[in-house]
Amino acid sequence: MRRFKFGGRLECGRLLGQLFAERLADPPVDCLLPVPLHASRLRERGFNQALILAREVARTTSIPVAGELVVRARATPVQTALSAGERRRNVRAAFEPRGSARGLRVAVVDDVLTTGATVDEVTRVLRRSGAVDVMVYALARAQSPSR
């Protein structure tokens, strides 16, 4: 995971995405929404790791990727060293709807789930945009910060 996300090893991401997709048993969703990166972070990293995972899941399941539903409108600091409360504050109002999710069952795809602050905020935006159900597909679960 580290080689993929921080080392730019996209082949690792594609393999992880394939393995991830194999573990999903007939997911009952209409579309996949990779957690969006802000344009500045995308330029810095060169790729969106959640998008790479979502594309592999889409290829295996035929569920479309709907990356246009939500955008990251505000750049946020990296969350790695933040506490759970700081993470929630960090992502508050960082996302905005860009398309209608009315009536959709959406799976938010993320690489690592730690406190859930990011996917909670994306879910809030999707619900406000009309999504009837939101699921979270995370490849890995990290230990939540204790502070």
Would you list the domain boundaries of the chain?
Answer: 2-141
- Rounded to an integer, the average pLDDT of 21-40 is 85
Give the Å distances, CA to CA, from 45 to 37, 116, 118, 127.
10, 22, 18, 29
Residue 46 banded pLDDT, cuts 50, 70, 90: confident
- Rounded to an integer, the average pLDDT of 60-86 is 87
Q: What are phi and psi of 135, to 5 degrees?
A: -115, 160
Nearest residue to 82 via CA among 2, 147, 1: 147
At 69, is the secondary structure helix, strand, or coil?
A: coil
The pLDDT, as a whole number, for residue 122 is: 97
The pLDDT, as a whole number, for residue 7 is: 67
Write out the CATH class of domain 2-141: alpha beta
The pLDDT, as a whole number, for residue 127 is: 97
Strands of the chain (E only): list them. Answer: 31-34, 70-72, 95-97, 105-113, 133-141
More confident residue, 74 or 12: 74
At 67, is the secondary structure helix, strand, or coil?
A: coil
Can you give the pTM of this predicted structure? 0.85
CB-CB contact of 97 with 65 (8 Å): no
The pLDDT, as a whole number, for residue 90 is: 81
- Rounded to an integer, the average pLDDT of 11-29 is 76
pLDDT at 25 over 70: no
- Rounded to an integer, the average pLDDT of 64-70 is 93
33-37, 42-46, 75-79, range with the lowest pLDDT: 75-79
